[in-house]
């Protein structure tokens, strides 16, 4: 199964991609996570990407394309993958299409997460993340048992630097300008599945699962 999870920031792509990863036993490739790791390690790529990310701007195409192409060559991607947060521009989508065409392994499904834009800022401003990968919380909608601490490991939860209102607005603009046109791009390829992504997580997960199963 080779799938793309497409949608605006805060639509819940990452959470649903992790569930689908476990269900289908294929890796979830998040360019956001890969870039944050590079920033943490202070690699050459990380140092270049940091400023763009903290301001809420997209990282330049050539950097992200090289990163994901390298990741897709790892052996754990042989049976497929879920792309979460990539592609985000038409140039990235075209580069991905070329790369996969050469390998004879095209994208089979693109899940488009449709959400009420009014809810997105509220979701992102209140989002808090476990630094050890135990998931996401929300100060109002899904608070941890002890304030500011992960329920699983007790680590101090992180408020991402780009989850503040100004940066969120910048990210939304980048989505509207650069990423939303990909809906039509993938519709024209006949692989788009539109999913209503408001409401409870289990209901959304069921809709995602049935769309993915319909092509696998
Ligand atoms: P995310 O975790 O998906 O919200 O991504 C966080 C940030 O990483 C974005 O706001 C961008 O700065 C950068 N980023 C992640 N994926 C991409 C991409 N496909 N193209 C350009 N920048 C990206």
Q: What percent of the chain has pLDDT over 70?
A: 100
CA 167, CA 172: separation in Å to the nearest integer?
9
pLDDT digits (tens, 9 = 90+) for 108-126: 999 999 998 888 999 999 9
Please determine, for residue 129, whether its predicted confidence score (pLDDT) is greater than 90.
yes
Report, as residue numbers or ranges, the catalytic residues: 13, 88, 127, 160, 171
Residue nearest to atom 2 of ligand 1 (CA): 32
pLDDT digits (tens, 9 = 90+) for 41-71: 999 999 999 999 999 999 999 999 999 999 9
CA 60, CA 49: separation in Å to the nearest integer?
8
Please determine, for residue 138, whether its predicted confidence score (pLDDT) is greater than 90.
yes
Beta strands in 36-84 (DSSP E): 81-84
pLDDT digits (tens, 9 = 90+) for 158-169: 999 999 999 999
> Three-class SS string for 93-118?
HHHHHHHHHHHCCCCCEEEEEECCHH
Please determine, for residue 25, whether its predicted confidence score (pLDDT) is greater than 90.
yes
Mutate to test the pocket of ligand 1, among 46, 68, 87, 88 (most ligand atoms within 8 A of CB): 88
pLDDT band, residue 98 (cuts 50/70/90): very high
Q: Compute, in angstroms, the gap from residue 25 CA to the centroid of ligand 1.
A: 24
Residue-wise burial string across 151-173, b where 16 or more C-beta atoms lie within 10 A, e elsewhere: eeeeeebeebebbeeebbebbbe
Instruction: Tell me what pLDDT residue 200 has.
Output: 86
At residue 46, φ and ψ (nearest 5 deg) are -60, -45
Number of the ligand 1 atom closest to the C-alpha atom of 55: 12
CA 87, CA 15: separation in Å to the nearest integer?
18
Instruction: Tell me what pLDDT residue 198 has.
Output: 87
CA 26, CA 72: separation in Å to the nearest integer?
12
Q: Compute, in angstroms, the gap from residue 88 CA to the centroid of ligand 1.
A: 8
Rounded to two decimals, the pTM is 0.93
Report which secondary-structure segment, H or E, holds 207: helix 201-213
Ligand 1 close to Cβ of residue 28 (< 6 A): no
Are the CB atoms for 31 and 68 separated by under 8 Å?
Answer: yes
Residue-wise burial string across 31-47, b where 16 or more C-beta atoms lie within 10 A, e elsewhere: bbebbbebbeeeeebbe
Average model confidence (pLDDT) across the chain: 95
């Amino acid at each position: 199964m080779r799938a793309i999870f497409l949608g605006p920031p805060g639509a819940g792509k990452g959470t649903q991609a992790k569930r689908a990863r476990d269900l289908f036993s294929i890796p979830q490739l998040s360019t956001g996570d890969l870039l944050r790791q590079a920033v943490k390690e202070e690699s050459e790529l990380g140092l270049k990407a940091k400023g763009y990310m903290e301001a809420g701007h997209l990282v330049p195409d050539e950097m992200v394309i090289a990163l994901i192409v390298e990741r897709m060559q790892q052996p754990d991607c042989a049976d497929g993958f879920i792309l979460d947060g990539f592609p985000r521009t038409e140039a990235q989508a075209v580069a991905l299409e070329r790369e996969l065409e050469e390998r004879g392994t095209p994208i089979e499904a693109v899940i488009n997460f449709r959400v009420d834009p009014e809810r997105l800022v509220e979701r992102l401003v209140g989002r808090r993340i476990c630094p050890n990968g135990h998931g996401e919380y929300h100060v109002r909608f899904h608070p941890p048992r002890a304030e500011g601490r992960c329920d699983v490991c007790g680590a101090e939860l992180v408020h991402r630097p780009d989850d503040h209102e100004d940066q969120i607005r910048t990210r939304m603009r980048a989505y509207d300008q650069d990423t939303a046109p990909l809906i039509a791009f993938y519709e024209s390829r006949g692989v788009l599945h539109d999913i209503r992504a408001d409401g409870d997580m289990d209901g959304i997960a069921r809709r995602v699962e049935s769309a993915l199963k319909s092509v696998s």
